[in-house]
Amino acid sequence: MTDMTDETDTRREKTVRALYAAYIDGRKDIVAAMLTEDFTFSSPRDDHIDRDAYFARCWPTPPPFRTMEIEYLGLSGDEAVVRYRAVKHDGGAFRNMETLRFRGDRLAVVEVYFGREA
């Protein structure tokens, strides 16, 4: 018999990984389906912006990064914590941390904490 918590964690881990992959590919359409209607995004530059502002401000065209490597992904209850290393097209790189909160199987909140050049 499968533990429901394990199934939920597996689905949520797949969602988180798919979020970063979609960002690299500029696939707003994929991410839009992952977010709740009242989704909010916060970072040192954005304070609880809604999903429309998130896509307008945080999804430039073309996508700004060549890669985003997830270095750490932890899940606990409705929250995920991610540390990633992003490599820009010019070769520069940095690390950030993010917390992501789920409501059911969809993302309701993302909070970004900026790191340093890597």
The mean of the pLDDT values for the chain is 94
pLDDT tens figures, 61-72: 999 999 999 999
State the pLDDT at residue 5: 76
Give the Cα separation of 21 and 2 in Å (integer): 28
Query: With contact defined as beta carbons under 8 Å apart, do 41 and 54 qualify?
Result: yes
- Under a CB-based contact definition with an 8 Å cutoff, are residues 95 and 118 in contact? yes
Q: Is 16 exposed, middle or buried (0-12, 13-18, 19+ CB in 10 A)?
A: buried
Rounded to an integer, what distance in angstroms lies between the CA atom of residue 35 and that of residue 7?
A: 19
Q: Of 68, 61, 93, 105, whose CA–CA distance to 83 is shortest?
A: 68
Question: What CATH number has the domain bearing residue 107?
Answer: 3.10.450.50
> How many domains, in total, are found in the chain?
1
Instruction: Judge whether residue 1 has pLDDT over 50.
Output: no
- For 41, the domain range is 4-117
pLDDT digits (tens, 9 = 90+) for 45-96: 999 999 999 999 999 999 999 999 999 999 999 999 999 999 999 999 999 9
